[in-house]
């Protein structure tokens, strides 16, 4: 870190020598708070033009799209686990519900119904319910928010690993319902889900100006999920700095103290569940459209852990950590393991492919991160203080308390 | 931070309807909920009856022997869950950690046991004497292997995190669960593998009022009962067992009294792992197939059993295991070809967590409130 800073300083000095004076003066006039905005703007612009550097249907583009969609889920789970400290092991439930929102409201699956709202092309002629993709996203968010609240209700009085088990059980139940949905009849020959066969003829999103969404041209997909990511990021940042965000942190740190200071426990916790769930649902709906199928087999327990691994590797409670963790594991899962390193074991004379053991690799990463760097790659300040084993639990609180009063405090 | 400080229980912050529900449900409410399935199907069998095929012709019976069959099947299945559930309950009792990797230790036990059959030359052609001694040897070696594995996991993944927040060891436990699963996957491949039916587990030994008792049933109970009694005696009578109970009650005070807490925790993991290994052998003999994913499902069912009985309580874990076994057997046999079994078991898990977190026999724990 120190070397990096020295390097940056060197570059800055070099720049100073070369850049003409008036430009420097202009730069100096930019108010301090604006640098952050300019940086964010630059990132967004880079994000938008990025796909022009790669071919329209390259494997890397595909991996990037999936990685961004994972990052959206990771940000959602970060609200529940990171901000509010409620360990949710059934996050796959919201992936499933989001994807099924697309399956229900954007395909010919409910073939007795006829409803078309702002749809374009083939979808406008087909039977079934066809909503515009934006409406589907909203529907997915609402359905998941409600489901998140329902799942959260029984866990309100529980803590720690009991919450983990109840959410896990809910996730598994939703997985079972997805598989067995073919047995649940809704009348006129329609069923709740298509089970392991999958709902396959889902609509492609349609946005004027973005081009057609298909396998040959991945750029519109990328811009779509980038848009979702930016919205979710914005919501995350605003939430973190809001009254609600502080209430979550307070509950996470000390429930009794927080409640006695007047934080409404039920509402605060349920809001964490439902907001996190809504983000997962939006990403799930996107995945349904992108994979062009909603298949019960996608919703396994392993996926919940996969998303959890992103949040933890990135740094619990840290927005940028969740983003980086999501992107990183997305690339590892969809690019590095299958495309780059897959044949590695065979080079050592071992008879298996790396894709077979990807969950083992993630498990190993989880253990490694917890043992070596429990605060994650980009830790949140408060977590870093807790997780560094050097100071014990009580000490950490003392340090925190003294830094809050002391004159030299608040230096992260 | 909950790991060190004893957090007082929250007074009256639960949503009111839930609090009221809990107050009136209590232990007997849970008993009624658990008995609902067998009672419903018992009445159903007696009144509506059920169809059996005698020589190809459908005959309607009005008796309880189908339910009796469910019970026999369920209790023996439950014996396996009980052995695994004890591992969960012991570990939870002593360090308040849900050992997610435990189900996969059980799976490794199955794999080790079936692998040892090959080493010992046990096959379908082996005589009765050879099978019995071969299996005894397998049982001992498997228990040593899984016990050691469990101790190793504790040493690598949980002990360094003893003072970390509670989330940390839970996450490494999940991580190890995945690692073990993939070890199993590489070891025996990705699909269920059938193993020699050494005991002819499905052959009937005798009938109890029309209910056939298979060899597999007797095997499961014959392994479970002595092990459980041995364990109970060990915990209540031996010096090490007393150290375990002391550490479970208060690790800090136990340490001050000269108990080596780390050794005691290792011992707990050893015992849990050994029982899981025994369960693995019984499972392989009983189901005659092994699969790398068997541990995940078994682990969740056994955990449900441990919670149902009251986590931290060995008798409760056995009771919970047997009850879950029966519920599972009824559901497999009667409800949509068993496709909903998992959902039913987890439904019970959630209901117990919400209405009576301390389970049937458990005391009030700090976590459960």
Taking chain A (412 residues) in consecutive chunks of 10 residues, what is each chunk's mean pLDDT?
78 78 79 80 87 84 94 96 90 95 89 81 81 93 95 82 86 92 83 85 82 83 94 93 93 90 92 96 94 88 89 90 93 86 78 81 88 84 62 48 43 37
- Name which of A155, A365, A374 is nearest B168 (Cβ-Cβ): A374
**Do A362 and B178 count as a contact with CB atoms less than 8 A apart?**
yes
Mark which residues 281-320 of A lie under 8 Å from B by CB: 301-302, 305, 308, 312, 316
Query: Would residue A242 count as lying in a domain?
Result: yes
Q: Is residue A271 a part of any domain in this protein?
A: yes
Architecture of domain B16-46+62-355: Orthogonal Bundle (1.10)
Q: What is the pLDDT of residues B265-282, one digit of tens each?
A: 999 999 999 999 999 999
The confidence score (pLDDT) of residue A404 equals 47
Mean model confidence pLDDT for chain B: 86
- Whether pLDDT at B23 is above 80: no
Residue B243 has pLDDT above 90, yes or no: yes
Confidence band, pLDDT 50/70/90 cuts, at residue B17: low
SS (H, E, C) chain A: CHHHHHHHHHHHHHHHHHCCHHHHHHHHHCCHHHHHHHHHHHHHHHHHHHHHHCCCCCHHHHHHHHHHHHHHHHHHHHHHHHHCCCCCCCCHHHHHHHHHHHHHHEECCCCCCEEEECCCHHHHCCCEEEECHHHHHHHHHHHHHHHHHHHHHHHCCCCHHHHHHHHHHHHHHHHHHHHHHHHCEEECCEECCCHHHCECCECCCCCCCCCCCCCCCCHHHHHHHHHHHHHHHHHHHHHHCCHHHHHHHHHHHCHHHHHHCCCCHHHHHHHHHHHHHHHHHHHHHHHHHHHCCECHHHCCHHHHHHHHHHHHHHCCCCHHHHHHHHHHHHHHHHHHHHHHCCCHHHHCCCCCCHHHHHHHHHHHHHHHHHHHCCCCCCCCHHHHHHHCCCCCHHHHHHHHHHHHHCCCCCCC
**pLDDT value, residue A283:** 96
The per-residue pLDDT for A229 is: 96
Q: What residues make up the domain containing A262?
A: 55-299
Flag whether A360 is in a domain.
no
How close, in Å, is residue A273 to chain B by CA atoms? 16
* Digit-coded pLDDT (tens) for B115-164: 999 888 888 887 888 888 999 999 999 999 999 999 999 999 999 988 88
Residue A2 lies in a domain: no
Q: Do A259 and B10 touch (CB under 8 A)?
A: yes
**CA–CA gap between residue A156 and residue B14 (Å, rounded):** 7
CB < 8 Å from A in window 19-78 of B: none
pLDDT given at position A405? 44
Residue extents of the structural domains in chain B: 16-46+62-355
Q: Which of A178, A211, A214, A205 is nearest to A105 (CA)?
A: A205
Interface pTM, i.e. ipTM:
0.83
A157 → closest Cβ in B14, B163, B336? B14
Q: How many domains does chain A have?
A: 1
Indicate yes or no: CB of A253 within 8 angstroms of CB of B18: no
The reported pLDDT for the residue numbered B369 is 35
Query: Does the CB of B349 have a partner CB in chain A at under 8 Å?
Result: yes
d(Cα A43, Cα A401) in Å, to the nearest integer? 36
The confidence band for B85, taking pLDDT boundaries of 50, 70 and 90, is very high
pLDDT at residue B16, rounded to an integer = 64
Q: Considering only the beta carbons, identify the residue of B3, B303, B339 that sits closest to A180.
A: B339
pLDDT confidence of residue A216: 80
pLDDT of residue B114: 92
């Amino acid at each position: 870190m120190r070397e990096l800073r020295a390097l940056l300083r060197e570059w800055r000095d070099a720049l100073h020598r070369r850049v003409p004076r008036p430009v420097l003066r202009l730069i100096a006039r930019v108010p301090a708070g604006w640098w952050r905005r300019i940086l964010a703007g630059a990132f967004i612009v880079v994000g938008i033009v990025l796909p022009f550097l790669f071919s329209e249907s390259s494997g890397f583009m595909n991996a990037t799209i999936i990685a961004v969609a994972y990052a959206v889920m990771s940000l959602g789970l970060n609200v529940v686990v990171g901000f509010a400290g409620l360990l949710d092991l059934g996050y796959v439930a919201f992936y499933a519900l989001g994807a099924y929102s697309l399956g229900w409201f954007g395909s010919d699956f409910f073939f007795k119904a006829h409803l078309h709202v702002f749809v374009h092309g083939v979808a406008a002629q087909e039977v079934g319910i066809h909503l515009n993709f934006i409406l589907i996203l909203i529907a997915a968010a609402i359905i998941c928010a409600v489901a998140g609240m329902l799942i959260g209700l029984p866990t309100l009085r529980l803590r720690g690993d009991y919450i983990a088990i109840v959410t896990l059980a809910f996730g598994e139940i939703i997985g079972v319902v997805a598989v067995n949905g073919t047995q649940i009849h809704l009348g006129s020959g329609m069923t709740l889900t298509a089970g392991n066969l999958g709902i396959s003829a889902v609509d492609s999103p349609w946005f004027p100006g973005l081009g057609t969404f298909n396998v040959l041209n991945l750029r519109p997909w990328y811009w779509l999920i980038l848009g979702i990511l930016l919205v979710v990021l914005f919501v995350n940042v605003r939430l973190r700095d809001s009254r609600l965000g502080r209430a979550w942190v307070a509950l996470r740190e000390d429930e009794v103290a927080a409640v006695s200071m007047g934080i409404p426990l039920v509402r605060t916790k349920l809001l964490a569940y439902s907001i996190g769930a809504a983000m997962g649902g939006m990403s799930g709906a996107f995945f349904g459209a992108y994979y062009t199928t909603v298949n019960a087999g996608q919703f396994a327990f392993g996926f919940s852990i996969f998303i959890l691994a992103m949040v933890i590797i990135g740094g619990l409670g840290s927005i940028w950590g969740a983003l980086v963790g999501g992107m990183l594991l997305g690339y590892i899962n969809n690019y590095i393991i299958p495309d780059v390193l897959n044949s590695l074991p065979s080079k050592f004379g071992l008879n298996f492919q790396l894709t077979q053991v990807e969950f083992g690799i993630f498990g190993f990463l989880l253990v490694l991160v917890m043992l070596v760097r429990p605060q994650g790659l980009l830790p949140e300040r408060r977590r870093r203080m807790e997780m560094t084993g050097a100071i014990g639990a009580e000490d950490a609180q003392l340090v925190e308390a003294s830094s809050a009063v002391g004159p030299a405090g608040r230096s992260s | 931070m909950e790991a060190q400080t004893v957090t007082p229980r929250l007074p009256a912050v639960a949503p009111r309807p839930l609090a009221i529900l809990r107050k009136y449900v209590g232990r007997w409410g849970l008993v009624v909920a658990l008995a609902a399935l067998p009672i419903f199907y018992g009445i159903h069998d007696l009144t509506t009856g059920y169809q059996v095929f005698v020589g190809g012709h459908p005959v309607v019976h009005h008796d309880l022997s189908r339910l009796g069959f469910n019970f026999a099947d369920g209790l023996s299945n439950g014996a396996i869950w009980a052995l695994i559930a004890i591992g969960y309950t012991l570990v939870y009792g002593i360090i308040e950690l849900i050992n997610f990797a435990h189900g996969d230790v059980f799976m490794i036990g199955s794999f080790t046991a079936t692998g040892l059959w090959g080493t010992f030359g046990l096959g379908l052609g082996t005589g009765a004497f050879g099978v019995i001694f071969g299996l005894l040897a397998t049982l001992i070696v498997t228990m040593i292997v899984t016990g050691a594995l469990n101790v190793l996991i504790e040493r690598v993944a949980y002990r360094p995190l003893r003072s970390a927040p509670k989330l940390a060891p839970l996450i490494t436990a999940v991580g190890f669960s995945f690692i073990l699963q993939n070890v199993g996957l590489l070891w025996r491949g990705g699909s269920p593998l059938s193993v020699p039916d050494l005991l002819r587990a499905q052959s009937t030994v005798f009938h109890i009022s029309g209910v056939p008792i298979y060899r597999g049933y007797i095997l499961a109970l014959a392994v479970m009962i002595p092990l459980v009694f041995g364990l109970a005696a060990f915990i209540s009578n031996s010096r090490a067992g007393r150290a375990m109970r002391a550490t479970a009650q208060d690790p800090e005070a136990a340490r001050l009294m000269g108990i080596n807490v780390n050794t005691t925790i290792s011992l707990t993991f050893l015992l849990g792992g050994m029982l899981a290994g025994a369960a693995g052998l019984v499972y392989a003999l009983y189901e005659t197939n092994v699969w790398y994913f068997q541990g995940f499902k078994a682990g969740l069912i056994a955990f449900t059993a441990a919670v149902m009985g009251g986590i931290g309580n060995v008798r409760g874990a056995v009771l919970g295991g047997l009850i879950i076994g029966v519920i599972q057997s009824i559901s497999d046999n009667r409800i949509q070809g068993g496709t909903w079994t998992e959902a039913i078991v987890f439904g019970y898990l959630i209901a117990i967590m919400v209405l009576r977190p301390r389970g049937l026999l458990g005391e009030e724990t700090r976590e459960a409130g």
